[in-house]
Amino acid sequence: MIVEPKNLLRLQFLVRVVQKECKYLSITDQRLFASLFTLEKAVLLEKDVDLAEQVEAFVGRFCRLQDTLGDKLLPLLLTTLGEKQSVFMDNLDCAERFGFIKSADEWMLVRHLRNQMVHEYIEDLVLLCSALQTAHDFVPTLILAANNMVGEIDRRDWL
């Protein structure tokens, strides 16, 4: 299969970005969840600037990796593999078929977490705690998806 040079360069760039995003998310995840993130911790967010910044970094890094994988790397990888361009949900179904992700439905749940962590937490700390814990539980899922996509690119000697 011949790959267009612009697609190859973009894939290589996105792989470097994804690898850095995985690294930074892992570091922040380990720091924020060194102990359980409880409602008591959430109440401290308004007074504990360091904790608030850790939460902000985790949310930003989690959402950024999920966006980079789902909105940038996956569509380009599928196109480069010869799949026709399609809507987001069809891309997820294709990613599941290729084994890049475990489940398209699970990925949609991860995507929904963004709204809970970014918008709704301002009013509901219980929802924030739940969303953060769920996102923490999904960090390995995101990193595995990243590794699966990067592995496919590497196996095809596109790096």
CATH of the domain at 140: 1.20.120
Residue 108 structural domain: 5-155
CA distance 105 to 111: 10
pLDDT of residue 68: 98
Whole-model pTM: value is 0.93
84 phi, psi to nearest 5 deg: -75, 150
Is residue 21 predicted with pLDDT exceeding 90?
yes
* Residue 46 DSSP label: G
Q: CB-based contacts of 84: which residues, under 8 Å, 6+ apart?
A: none
* Angle, CA of 146, 58 and 30, to the nearest 5°: 80
* Residue 84 DSSP label: P
**pLDDT by residue (tens digit) across 34-86?**
998 999 999 999 899 999 999 999 999 999 999 999 999 999 999 999 999 89
Structural domain total, the chain: 1
Of residues 101, 136, 104, 102, the one with CA closest to residue 117? 136
Supply the mean pLDDT for the chain: 93
CA distance 71 to 25: 18
CA distance 146 to 138: 13
The single-letter code of the amino acid at 27 is I
Q: What is the mean pLDDT of residues 76-99?
A: 95
